[in-house]
Amino acid sequence: ELKVEQNPLFLSMQEGKNYTIYCNYSTTSDRLYWYRQDPGKSLESLFVLLSNGAVKQEGRLMASLDTKARLSTLHITAAVHDLSATYFCAVDVGGSQGNLIFGKGTKLSVKP
């Protein structure tokens, strides 16, 4: 059974600080996605990582993928309050049917 584990599950940060969210998964996959979800809202796509060594950056967020270690990271640089949300990583099981398996999510709270 595929497992996708995120840590930490809860993260309280001060504005201006840096931190990393980790996403480990238990099966071979070279496609991993990061999503943001605000309370009561849908999923906003942040990053699509499609190969080993992929690194993508958007604003204060940077995501990377190491398929050999089965690890993806989401690094937050100089956090601001607007980044407060829940962040999910999701692994594409692949095959002919397409199927996303989500981690439990990391609830990020950025305080002034």
**Residue numbers of the site for another protein (CB under 8 A)?**
31, 33, 35, 40-45, 48, 50, 88, 92, 94-105
Q: Which lies closer to another protein via its Cβ, residue 41 or residue 111?
A: 41
Q: Which lies closer to another protein via its Cβ, residue 95 or residue 112?
A: 95
| CB of residue 41 to another protein, shortest distance in Å | 7
| CB of residue 7 to another protein, shortest distance in Å | 14
Residue 8 burial (CB count, 10 A):
13
| CB of residue 110 to another protein, shortest distance in Å | 19
Q: Which lies closer to another protein via its Cβ, residue 13 or residue 90?
A: 90
What is the Cα–Cα distance from 92 to 9, expressed in whole angstroms? 21
| CB of residue 24 to another protein, shortest distance in Å | 15
- 27 DSSP assignment: S
Q: Which lies closer to another protein via its Cβ, residue 18 or residue 26?
A: 26
Token pair 């480990």 in the structure block, residue:
24
What is the Cα–Cα distance from 31 to 73, expressed in whole angstroms? 13
What is the Cα–Cα distance from 53 to 71, expressed in whole angstroms? 10
| Residue 52 · residue 65 · CB < 8 Å | yes
